[in-house]
Amino acid sequence: MAFSDGDPVTGAMAPVFRKLVPGASGLDHLVVTGAGHFLQEDAGTRLGEVVAEFVTRE
Task: Annotate 15-32 with b (16+ C-beta within 10 A) or e (fewer).
Answer: eeeeeeeeeeeeeeebeb
Contact 5, 31 (CB under 8 A): yes
Report pLDDT for 47.
93
**29 pLDDT higher than 90:** no
pLDDT digits (tens, 9 = 90+) for 30-46: 889 999 999 999 999 99
Percent of the chain predicted with pLDDT > 90: 40
The domain locations on the chain are 2-20+27-56
- Whole-structure pTM value: 0.73
* pLDDT at residue 40, as a whole number: 93
Mean pLDDT of the chain: 87
Which residues face 30 on adjacent strands? 2
